[in-house]
Amino acid sequence: MATLDLGKIKQVWRGTYNNSTAYVVDDLVAYTDSGISSTYICVANSTGNAPSSSGTAHASWNYVAKGVSDPIPSQSGNSGKFLTSNGSATSWGVVASDTDFAQWRVNTLFSGAADPITNWTQSTNNCTFTESSGIFTFPSTGYWRIHMHLYGYYNSDSDNSELHIMRTTNNSSYTTKCHSYTSLNNDDGGNLYTTLEGDLVFDVTDTSTHKIKFKIANTGIYWAADANRNDTYAIFMKLGDT
């Protein structure tokens, strides 16, 4: 009885491509070309012909699964994170937790200039935020939004005031990064009331050197204060990783 040569009846995995191995049709190999790993199938008997060069497959080979230049980073140990890109590479980022915030209230009525504003009470927080003599230290690096609100009054004809949100990146010299101004004028006498607001996003890259303080300048206004309600207060909220 005659013997029929059916050839290969399935594809054969040959592992990583070896330049000295003789490959035949339907052999499968793995090969890295220009830093990109792909899987190839042999379509013509071949020895010494790399499956591809500069992203173009050799005539003896076809792509089965072509790799990408920027693969997804390992997921191991990155639970709860999201994939982000800097325009050239991808990485795992962290969404700021809803609990990354702190609220502080000034607890003592004050007037006149203050650099920095002191007498703070932390009213709400779910992170380890600290304050010492009016200097605020952040609990973690990242982009932080700082909101400052002052409520005050003056019992004369006119006055003005400036709010400065000031930051340092060397734990020494402070510069104003948010500036708000109010002016009061009332010839009828009686108390004049005002509020001052300021907002700043601060990229905190080092918690030991990047700090915040609040300054009031050019004023005789009395600023209301209460440890149990928001009269003069600051809110810190983390927006995301730096």
Among residues 193, 199, 198, the alpha carbon closest in space to that of 224 is found at 193
- Mean pLDDT in residue range 164-170: 98
**Higher-confidence position of 152 and 84:** 152
Give the range with max mean pLDDT: 82-91, 122-131, 167-176: 167-176
Lowest mean pLDDT among 83-87, 116-120, 188-192, 231-235: 188-192
- Label residue 123 by pLDDT band (50, 70, 90): very high
Spatial contact of 212 and 165, defined as CB atoms under 8 Å apart: yes
Q: Tell me the whole-structure pTM to 2 decimals.
A: 0.62
Domain extents in the chain? 12-65, 101-240
Mean pLDDT for the chain overall: 89
CATH class of the domain defined by 101-240: mainly beta
Contact, 53 vs 36, CB < 8 A?
A: no
200 pLDDT tier (thresholds 50, 70, 90): very high
Identify residue 108 by its one-letter amino acid code: T
- The distance of Cα 76 from the centroid of its chain, to the nearest Å, equals 21
Cα-Cα-Cα-Cα dihedral of 133, 139, 141, 143, to 10°? -80
Please say if the pLDDT value at position 22 is more than 80: yes
Comparing 5-14, 153-162, 183-192, 196-205, the range with the smallest average pLDDT is 183-192
Q: Is the pLDDT of residue 3 over 70?
A: no
| CA gap 226, 224 in Å, rounded | 7
> Could you report the per-residue pLDDT of 57-66, keeping only the tens digit for each?
999 999 999 9
User: Is residue 51 reached through a cis peptide bond, with omega within 30 degrees of 0 on the bond before it?
Assistant: no
pLDDT category of residue 183 using cuts at 50, 70 and 90: confident
Residue 2 has pLDDT above 70, yes or no: no
Task: Note the pLDDT of residue 1.
Answer: 60
